[in-house]
Structure 1
Amino acid sequence: MAVVEMMGMSLIGPRQEIEALAAELLTLGNFEPVPLEFALERRPASLSSGGARISTFQKNPYDELLEKLNYVWKEAGAVFPAERTCSRDTPSLSREECSRQVLDVAQKIDIWKKRAEVLEEEREKLMAAGAFLDALASADRDVEETLMTRYLSITFGRLSAENYKKLEEMAAVTPLLVYPVVAEKGYVLAIVFCSRDYLEEAEKIFRTVYLKEYRLTDLFEGAGANLRERLRERQLDSERAIRALQEAPRNYLGRRRKDLERLYCAVHSLQRVYALCQKRGEMSGIFVLSGVIPAPTLDRVADQVERLGPNTLLLTEKGTELEKRGRQLPTLLKNNFLARTFQEIVALYSLPSYGETDPSPLVALSFCLFFGFMFGDVGHGFLLAAGAWWLARKGILKKAFASVIRIAGVSAMVFGFLYGSVFGSEEILPSLWTSPMHGISDLIQTSLFVGVAFLSMGIAINILALKREGRTGKMLFDGEGVAGLLFYWTAALTAAIAFTSDGGAPKPLLAVLGLLFLVILFSSVLERLLFGPQEKDEGGVVHTFTVFHDLLSFLSNTASFVRLAAFALNHAGLSAAVFMLSDMVHSLPGGALFRAAVLLLGNIVIVGLEGLIVFIQTLRLEYYEFFSKFYHGGGRPFAPVTWNGKKQD
């Protein structure tokens, strides 16, 4: 009923027009792209001529540009702008202009970062040299005297803390002396002493631990008497320059934030357009873009093609044709507010497949009826509806399920007026129909009538579905077709007469039952005789077991609806038990307080625990009794692309 008709659509035209139309499709939000093969499956001749080959593109070049912009924001220590900050009115830029601007900004950040890395290395080297001088000063040693030793080689360098441990382990078994000078940021600046004769072997060890050597003679040469002060000044200059370079991206972003955000939005827009066209094809400069759209939106798409694509060809194909080719079309539901609220209940079971009857309107009706029948009470229904509203407002309960529970609470209130029940008391209001405690037979008869009505409705929906599929034989003779529906009605009428009269079941009705049973049992034979062999024909043994299963399910499914009366009586009994318990504690010291506590806690338990049980029982009647007669599910949601990604309707 509410499954929107879908259709295939392909756009064939020049690149500029296809990209402009893709932007409009993103704005409309009603287009789900599909691979190129979808369009070419039945049109190889029309889309290839003169030996031209159609090529496809999978890599989105704007992904890399967005990554570079993300890198810019990250280096600036700022939060990357969200997609929702972009509007459709963002000035468009060409691919070349976007690429030029993004690369220019990223190059600036790279230059500042690399320069900061060089200065950081220089700072570490100066810091290490200062530490080396301090060590010499404490030992009262001269720099030149130390570095110009005839027999001793001194190596100064940086390595990771992990490799420094390895170097220490090697020094324990080799003629090396290792001393750490500075440990910072996971690295160690160390001095290594060894004899000059062992220097060649030592250098091999240095390479295995990735020691980065600093030439101290370059730092100390020509420094004069104020060497330590000169090194300290150079170190401070390096630190100031590093801080300036580290702040440069943030300052640049602060000055150019609006321009960079506009650039981001322009790149993001092009990225979304290209993502839509990503699985397109190109043939000699002509682009092909295919997808699925809801049939009611075709006129809007055609208007955009006429406005923006004068040289673009629009090809369409009905959904039925696509299904014949084995394509599973997505499901888009369109319902009124009440039915849309109960789509979540249907989705818990399974989304309707394309072309299948959407049970959401029927679920909206039956769920309210079943729940209210079993939980009818004005007070408890009000508490349930109010509790669902409060939980949704606090964000504890999803909005969709909160709406379902609120409606169920209102339904319970309506049945509460019919039962004359307020917080379990049947003495405050007069019953408009019957009382669960005094009208058990009425409840049982009504629940059976409701079961027959809804099961008949399910079979009728299945009959219509079989008719749409063109399976006339199964529609007429199957146990869940016309013959099965007549058998069910005849059996229900026979049982009603047998239980309400002294004469037993009428023989003519028994004869009709026997005849219908034979029709159902030999339905496959009759179908082959009248309509020829069927593709989905069952084997004889399987068919026989299926027939008996279907006929027995009529009895079990109908009997299952007696739970409507049973839980209505259970609700009244549990409420009466709460009142009895409150009367028992009333005679105790402080009895008024205890009585109020028992009534309060008892009603909370009824609303919470029994409400949950009734909710589950309602789902059981929907899924196992009602849905089993006609519903298959297995659909996938329609997922059109938008400027901010995919949305699910």
Structure 2
Amino acid sequence: MVEKTVFVVFFSGDQAKAKILKICGSFGASCYPVPEEMVKQRQIFREVSGRLADLEATLDAGIQHRNKALESVGSQLRRWTIMVKKEKAVYDTLNMLNFDVTKKCLVGEGWCPIFAKSQIKDVLQRATLHSNSQVGIIFHEMDTIDSPPTYFQTDKFTNAFQEIVDAYGIARYEEANPAVYSVITFPFLFAVMFGDWGHGICLLLGACVLILREKKLSSQKLGSFMEMAFGGRYVILLMALFSIYCGLIYNEFFSVPFHIFGKSAYECREKTCSDAHTAGLIKVRDPYPFGVDPSWRGSRSELPFLNSLKMKMSILMGVTQMNLGIVLSYFDAKFHGNALDIRYQFIPQMIFLNSLFGYLALLILIKWCTGSQADLYHVMIYMFLDPSGNLGENQLFWGQKELQILLLLMAIVAVPWMLFPKPFILKKLHKERFQGHTYRFLGTSEMDPDSEPDSARSRHDDFNFSEVFVHQMIHSIEFVLGAVSNTASYLRLWALSLAHSELSTVFYEKLLVLAWGYDNLVVKLVGLVIFSFATAFILLGMESLSAFLHALRLHWVEFMNKFYHGDGYKFRPFSFALLADDED
């Protein structure tokens, strides 16, 4: 609709009329002459009204025709859009090909998986037949110095774990893939921090809903949060199962312990005893068969006991996973035939890590098995400050002092072992290769120094000893310092597990138990509702996200930096299936 202002102009003379018409025309005004006779005015009014009615009828007919046309097109619009995208993608790909003028054919170069070679040949032969082409399509392998892209075959179960690794960096070609191990280690480390089998069951129900409605949800447009949750539905499933397992070990169901696997090893010394005081308990039978004894809950020794248990358990898991990362670097170097990395990187790294923190893990296991009261903090500190000092009551086994001195010396020797040999050996090997090239070329060109090819000179110039040495020094220092910081970083397993347990206890005791202590039904219902919301949004929402991010950090930094470079690029094949989801 266009709104216009109606106005009347009175004038005298033809000259004034011409000026007024010119001004009105310049401003887009419609001019209608108004005769003095009333009959003629009515006649003009009827003519204008008739023209307006005709215009409105024409516009209405045009709008109806347009709506019918759009309705008939609407059902085909998505199919046409995809068709146009396919046509555009085909022409964009054809533009990447080179035109051979002499043979009058298109030449294309690209990567393909080895297993797909036979499939590609069959498809090209069918394309030749269907297009009635008189010239066959030639398909052959090419030699190239370019590094190939990386391609991992995944399914709906493993895809989310591969995406977690790819978010850190795409693997080099033929580099060990951390996603294979992350399928188990990632949800397990999450569960160590989130261990509560009640909360694990809630996560399991959510994962099962996403998996059972998989077909329906995959065809819908989801929000950013739901799309992330749906994409990681199998990750959530494993996190839930491992959380139930760890919750059974911690013996926590919304922070409440249960006698699932039999009776407690402790009973009351008298007929009545307080659960808050271990003085009223006495051990009467074998230890609780699986997990933490429920009698520890509410006792004065609960927090020190769980602190010690979870802290030592975190160190054991951290040392194990870091050793796994170093072992994977060995297999990676062995696969590529890199003996220098095995001798001067893998071996000293294993010696350094296990001489210090592997020894600490061994002490933890010995202390658990023997029930010793030795102070492991004192043992590790004085291993550096006073290696030859008397251990006294902190001695766990015969020959411990001599072993500690040996391990300390091995750790000290491992540092220069990592730092110095590799750069000098690389320099020597490069020099020998360069001299061999120079000798051959001088022998064939009558000792003319200018006859040395540019390729040999460029190879000689490419090697920069100072750069190689600095890189090796940075790598060695990073590993030595990282061995300490990474081991300490695994203590987040202990901290978050303890925080989750204590927060769950606070919600249970201060919301649910306190509210149900009243006789008023309204107070009980309000307490139950608040407890449910706090559990859902804080423990299941924020705490699970926090544990997820910390598990991500432990894999990206502490585990993958031992062997994973992540500086490759992804194989992106031409595919019509990907165009439907491509908004660009």
Shift of 1:532: 3.0
SS at match of 1:277: helix
Shift of 1:535: 4.2
Q: Does 1:517 find its partner at 2:415?
A: yes
Shift of 1:340: 2.3
2:349 aligned partner: 484
1:299 aligned partner: 118
Cα pair 2:82 2:580 within 8 Å, conserved? no
2:292 aligned partner: 435
- Check 1:238–1:351 CA distance in 2 against 1; reply closer, same or farther (3 A cut): same
**CA distance in 1 between partners of 2:579 and 2:74 (Å):** 24
Equivalent in 550, 570, 573 of residue 479 of structure 2:
550
CA RMSD of aligned residues (A): 4.5
SS at match of 2:401: coil
Q: Does 1:424 find its partner at 2:255?
A: yes
Cα pair 1:276 1:641 within 8 Å, conserved? no
Q: Does 1:361 find its partner at 2:180?
A: yes
**CA distance in 2 between partners of 1:621 and 1:255 (Å):** 56
**CA distance in 2 between partners of 1:225 and 1:508 (Å):** 119
2:127 aligned partner: 308
Richer in strand (by share)? 1
Equivalent in 531, 535, 538 of residue 429 of structure 2:
531
Shift of 1:476: 2.8
SS at match of 2:116: helix
Q: TM-score, normalised by structure 1?
A: 0.58
Question: Residue type matched to 1:509 in 2?
Answer: L
1:504 aligned partner: 401
Cα pair 1:351 1:637 within 8 Å, conserved? no
Cα pair 2:196 2:247 within 8 Å, conserved? yes
SS at match of 1:314: coil
Higher RCO (CA-CA < 8 Å; seq separation 6+): 1
Structure-to-structure mapping, 1:444-483, within 5 angstroms:
444-467=311-334, 471-478=338-345, 481-483=346-348
**CA distance in 2 between partners of 1:256 and 1:617 (Å):** 51
**CA distance in 1 between partners of 2:258 and 2:76 (Å):** 73
Cα pair 1:373 1:564 within 8 Å, conserved? yes
Question: Residue type matched to 2:329 in 1?
Answer: N
**CA distance in 1 between partners of 2:413 and 2:78 (Å):** 77
Equivalent in 98, 105, 122 of residue 286 of structure 1:
105
Q: TM-score, normalised by structure 2?
A: 0.63
- Check 1:243–1:303 CA distance in 2 against 1; reply closer, same or farther (3 A cut): same
2:488 aligned partner: 559
Q: How many residues align?
A: 453
1:131 aligned partner: none
Spell out, residue by residue over 1:335-393, the C-alpha distance to the aligned partner (whole angstroms, 9 max, x if none). 35543232333244344354443322211111122122222222121012224556897
Q: Does 1:379 find its partner at 2:198?
A: yes
- Check 1:215–1:360 CA distance in 2 against 1; reply closer, same or farther (3 A cut): same
**CA distance in 1 between partners of 2:553 and 2:72 (Å):** 63
Question: Residue type matched to 2:408 in 1?
Answer: L
Shift of 1:539: 5.8
Q: Which segments of 5 or more consecutive residues in structure 2 lack a partner in the other structure?
A: 35-39, 262-287, 294-301, 364-378, 381-395, 432-461
**CA distance in 2 between partners of 1:338 and 1:225 (Å):** 81
Spell out, residue by residue over 1:130-170, the C-alpha distance to the aligned partner (whole angstroms, 9 max, x if none). xxxxxxxxxxxxxxxxxxxxxxxxxxxxxxxxxxxxxxxxx
Cα pair 1:578 1:599 within 8 Å, conserved? yes
- Check 1:644–1:357 CA distance in 2 against 1; reply closer, same or farther (3 A cut): closer
Q: Which segments of 5 or more consecutive residues in structure 1 lack a partner in the other structure?
A: 1-183, 218-222
SS at match of 1:304: helix
SS at match of 2:226: coil
Equivalent in 618, 621, 627 of residue 551 of structure 2:
618
**CA distance in 2 between partners of 1:351 and 1:203 (Å):** 74
Question: Residue type matched to 1:473 in 2?
Answer: L
Cα pair 2:195 2:244 within 8 Å, conserved? yes
Question: Residue type matched to 1:476 in 2?
Answer: R
Spell out, residue by residue over 1:379-426, the C-alpha distance to the aligned partner (whole angstroms, 9 max, x if none). 121012224556897955220234322321111012223333322223
Matched-pair identity in %: 20
Cα pair 2:86 2:579 within 8 Å, conserved? no
Shift of 1:508: 3.3
Shift of 1:276: 3.6
Cα pair 1:384 1:406 within 8 Å, conserved? yes
Cα pair 2:486 2:558 within 8 Å, conserved? yes
Q: Does 1:341 find its partner at 2:160?
A: yes
